[in-house]
Structure 1
Amino acid sequence: MKKQALSRERRAQLDGGEAEATHLAEILAVDFARLLASIAPSLPAAAVANMRKAANSGITLRMQGAATLLRAHALGDPAQWIDHRSDTVRGWACYLIGSDPRLSLEHKLDALRALADDPHFGVREWAWLAVRPHIAADPLRVLAHVQPWTADASPNVRRFACEALRPRGVWAAHIALLKQAPQHAHALLEALCCDESRYVQDSVGNWLNDAGKSQPDWVRERCAAWQQRHADHPANTYIRKRAQRSL
């Protein structure tokens, strides 16, 4: 997606950490080097220059790069950034947590839970993307840990439990085990199959659509079973339609 032209005033707000992005084009348009210099003026010029050199890299690489630079210059405490006005900076907090070598995978997930419930849509995505490589490496461990999250009062947290474990992703590492054996996520999907939130419903439907690209028969069987049990439930009807849209 190309960067959208922004007014000089709007760009200054975003690059200065004074405002949140309102849509994806604005997220992609943020100048990370300028934002780093604005929110962390103690950073040496060489660090900001390194961020500037990475301007043409993919955004997930730049998110991780910003977190790496902050940590390297004693600015790596996520608590310092977790409540920042800028959604991009709060996203850097996600990556600081996700890349912290001192934390176990379970502790990373727990530390990201509040960010998974952030009011901003972008931060909620960074919360799982920041730890996705670790999830892909050990999905069963993550499944066990986030299963209780499917009962959380917040639809954002319930969605995280599903979205973080989607078998495929545009900006994320694929999860080989769940592409080939999606049945491992049976309990998680069952817990969310009639969720009242459209935000969660979309994630469940997309999860199954992902799985259907490698295991279409399993997805058909899962949806057929749900149709028998939840034929009149509008949430499940919506999920089943979304799940089978590519079959």
Structure 2
Amino acid sequence: MADLETLRARKGAVRRSEVPSNVVAGLNRGELESVNLVEFLVIDHVKLFKAVRPTLSLEDAAAKKIGAAIKRLASEGVMQRLVATGAAFHETLADSDAREEVYQQMATHPSDVVRNWAAYMDTADTKLTFAKRLQRARKFATDPNMGVREIAWMCVRLPAADSIVSDIERLHPLARNKNHLARRFAIEVSRPCGVWCKHIPDLKKRPEIAEELLTLCREDATKYVQDSVANWLNDASKTRPDYVQELCARWLAECDSPHTRRITHRALRTLRKKA
């Protein structure tokens, strides 16, 4: 196999059939993380679990149970597999002293899919408070891999959508964080019409609930965060165009910065198409 460092610097293939065999092998052995969605989709989760199992502090019985669950999920969609695999780990290890150790081993694993399994272990844990979910999701929200960062907000939103509305102020410290990835997470997790995730009806009807949160990032210098704020408002414009137009006008009147201008321009794109 080619040098791992060389492979880690690769560009991702455009089609599944174009992913080199040595890259597929590295992904399935857990030695490489995917660099795009195409690679992410070629990973064989059954092979991956067999390869990483020796690196996890799992007893044989637990490993056998989790492995069987992953095998049963082979025909499911990738998101369903991730959610169910995380749940299988959580349920199998719920009463085990090794749970947190296995979780940490997975959360820091070279494979992005294994890190995603760890994130979804928290999704399945009904005992976690919203504050604790945010705390544990932060490492995934600031992960170098974009796929893991997307999973981070979905893992919080799936079990705690109601808390995003009732306790939205808990996202404010993240929106003030020095790390732009944490700021982006705070906005993305609260989008009214989340991508690949259920909508939050209260935010579609009353987007003003999140105004203070959005305002914290209205002058953000990072395009990654700007795009998230703009997409949040574009979501809201589909159900509350009046509010989004008024807010954008007010922002521009209060802080006519190039960052705010870019956010508001992108936020109003759907309304411009309808005009």
TM-score by length of 1: 0.92
Instruction: Identify which range, 3-12 or 148-157, moves more after superposition.
Output: 3-12
For residue 210 of structure 1, report the CA deviation from its aligned partner: 0.5
Instruction: Identify which range, 112-121 or 95-104, moves more after superposition.
Output: 95-104
The residue number in structure 1 matching 2:40 is 27
Instruction: Identify which range, 156-165 or 101-110, moves more after superposition.
Output: 101-110
2: distance between equivalents of 1:171 and 1:40? 29
> How has the CA–CA distance of structure 1 residues 186 and 72 changed in structure 2, closer, same or farther, with 3 Å as cutoff?
closer
For residue 15 of structure 1, report the CA deviation from its aligned partner: 1.2
For residue 46 of structure 1, report the CA deviation from its aligned partner: 6.1
For residue 238 of structure 1, report the CA deviation from its aligned partner: 0.9
Tell me, yes or no, if the aligned pair for 2:175 and 2:186 is still in contact at 8 Å.
yes
Residue aligned with 2:16, SS: coil
> How has the CA–CA distance of structure 1 residues 100 and 3 changed in structure 2, closer, same or farther, with 3 Å as cutoff?
farther
> How has the CA–CA distance of structure 1 residues 201 and 209 changed in structure 2, closer, same or farther, with 3 Å as cutoff?
same
> How has the CA–CA distance of structure 1 residues 46 and 186 changed in structure 2, closer, same or farther, with 3 Å as cutoff?
closer
The residue number in structure 2 matching 1:10 is 23
* Structure 1 spans left out of the alignment, 5+ residues: none
Q: Does 1:241 align with 2:265?
A: yes
Tell me, yes or no, if the aligned pair for 1:3 and 1:29 is still in contact at 8 Å.
no
Instruction: Give the percent of matched residue pairs that are identical in Structure 1 and Structure 2.
Output: 35
Q: How many residues align?
A: 245
Tell me, yes or no, if the aligned pair for 2:90 and 2:125 is still in contact at 8 Å.
no
Q: CA RMSD in A?
A: 1.9
* Structure 2 spans left out of the alignment, 5+ residues: 1-13, 55-59
One-letter amino acid of the structure 2 residue matched with residue 114 of structure 1: K
Deviations 1:43-77 (A, max 9, x none): 65564344233233232211111112223443743
Deviations 1:151-173 (A, max 9, x none): 10100001111000000123111
Tell me, yes or no, if the aligned pair for 1:67 and 1:76 is still in contact at 8 Å.
no
1: distance between equivalents of 2:64 and 2:163? 38
Q: Work out which of the residue numbers 145, 156, 159 in structure 2 matches 1:120.
A: 145
One-letter amino acid of the structure 2 residue matched with residue 122 of structure 1: G
> How has the CA–CA distance of structure 1 residues 59 and 3 changed in structure 2, closer, same or farther, with 3 Å as cutoff?
farther
Q: Does 1:211 align with 2:236?
A: yes
Q: Work out which of the residue numbers 104, 110, 117 in structure 2 matches 1:85.
A: 110
Tell me, yes or no, if the aligned pair for 1:149 and 1:161 is still in contact at 8 Å.
yes
Tell me, yes or no, if the aligned pair for 1:135 and 1:165 is still in contact at 8 Å.
no
